[in-house]
Structure 1
Amino acid sequence: MRVHKTLITTFVLVLMFSCKNNAQPNLEQESIIQSEPVQVATENGKAKAHFASGCFWCVEAIYESVKGVEEAISGYAGGHTKNPTYESSNTGQTGHAEAVEVIYNPKIISFSTLVDVYFASQNPTQFNGQGPDHGSQYRSIIFYQNEKQKEIILQKKKALANKLGKPIAAEVYPFQKFWVAEEYHQNYEKLHPENSYIQGVSIPRLKRFQAKMPEVLKEKHQK
């Protein structure tokens, strides 16, 4: 009986320790979701917006084809750890998703239209991934910097859910910080057009978006 009790006690302690370890990242992630958004100041008339929508190679190329977008930078956002890397984010333990920072001219394109681009360039009902990419690091997140942006996102998400009759996968997060990805990820689709993933996934995804919203494309991307 004493041995039996000892085994039970040991099991409970192991279980408690295990649960604590598993719960901690969730608590840390919840604190990110409940945080006050960080407003990014405009620089030289340019604003910044942040989106996660699967592989950042794909998303970067999509936004850089849009009028009013000066540049899209690949990186990581939405997690609870500092200095995330490609390797660490791929573990699914950091809370971060592959994301892009969109630098745009608000006199040419609005945040609202950038959200339209976001939904038009993905499968909005696919949770934890896009296309062949699966995992929390590929989940869909739209980041807001203020209540006005949050309202725009929520209204568009609701309207799309009603239209499709299905739940929309995109999470809505207050923006906290964007971590720039490793240099070899930047402009990947443009620099590596022969890559099999680019050929089979990125370029077809870009073309599907361009067919949906030709009115927002830069002249060089119009047919």
Structure 2
Amino acid sequence: MLHLKSMLSTFLIVLFFSCNNMAQQNQEQDAIRHATPIEVPLQNGKARAYFASGCFWCVEAIYESVKGVDEVISGYAGGHTKNPTYASSNTGKTGHAEAVEVIYNPDVVSFSTLVDVYFGSQNPTQVNGQGPDKGSQYRSIIFYQNDEQKHIIETKKSALSKKLNANIAAEVYPFTKFWKAEDYHQNYEKRHPEDPYVQNVSIPRLNRFKAKFPELLKDAKN
């Protein structure tokens, strides 16, 4: 009986600290959701936008194919921890999602069009993931830097919800920080076309997007 009481006491202590830790994480994540957005200034006439929509290998390739987009960088955003890594984000405890930084020419492609690309290149009703990738680190988040962008996002999200008669899974977050992913993740689809995941998930997803939005694609020579 004494041994049982000791085990029960240990379990309650562990549960107490676990619950406290979860409560702290939730508070930290709520602070990110309600933070004041940071507006990234133009650099050499180029703007930046941030999106999370499942595996960043897929999302990077999609935005790279869009006219007016100069570069896409894979990384992490939306969480409450500093210096996230691929390993730590995969635990689902950092609050971060795999995300991309889209560097684009606003004279060629608008933020509004990039939002259309976002919603049009995913399953917008899938919660906590895209396709076979499941977990909070693969959830859909779309980031705004000012009230105008927030209005664009929420208007398009609401219209899509009505069109599909379904809840749209994408969360809407203020942009605060983007953490660049490890070098081996950058341009992964282009550098590893033979990878089974790229063959079976990334390329089919990219091709579905291309078929849906041919007018947005770069010329083949680009």
Sequence identity (%): 71
4+ residue stretches of structure 1 with deviation over 6 A?
A: 3-11
> Which digits, 9 at most, give the CA deviation of each residue in 1:86-130, with x for residues without a partner?
000000010000000000000000000000000010000000000
Quick one: which amino acid aligns to residue 45 of structure 1? G
Tell me the residue number matched to 1:88: 88
**Structure 1, unaligned runs of 5 or more:** none
CA shift, 1:62, in A, is 0.2
Tell me the residue number matched to 2:58: 58
CA shift, 1:22, in A, is 1.6
CA distance in 2, matches of 1:180, 1:5: 49
> Which digits, 9 at most, give the CA deviation of each residue in 1:183-204, with x for residues without a partner?
0000000000011000000000
| 1:79 to 2:76 alignment | no
SS at match of 1:71: strand
**CA 1:44–1:163 in structure 2 vs 1: closer, same or farther (change >3 Å)?**
same
| 1:118 to 2:118 alignment | yes
Contact 1:40 1:145 in 2 (8 A): yes
**Number of residue pairs the alignment of both structures matches:** 221
Please report the TM-score for the alignment, with normalisation by the length of structure 2.
0.94
Alpha-carbon RMSD across the aligned residues, in angstroms, is 2.0
CA distance in 1, matches of 2:97, 2:197: 19
Contact 1:65 1:221 in 2 (8 A): no
Contact 1:73 1:180 in 2 (8 A): yes
CA distance in 2, matches of 1:132, 1:10: 38
SS at match of 1:220: coil
Tell me the residue number matched to 1:68: 68
Quick one: which amino acid aligns to residue 164 of structure 2? L
Contact 1:49 1:103 in 2 (8 A): yes
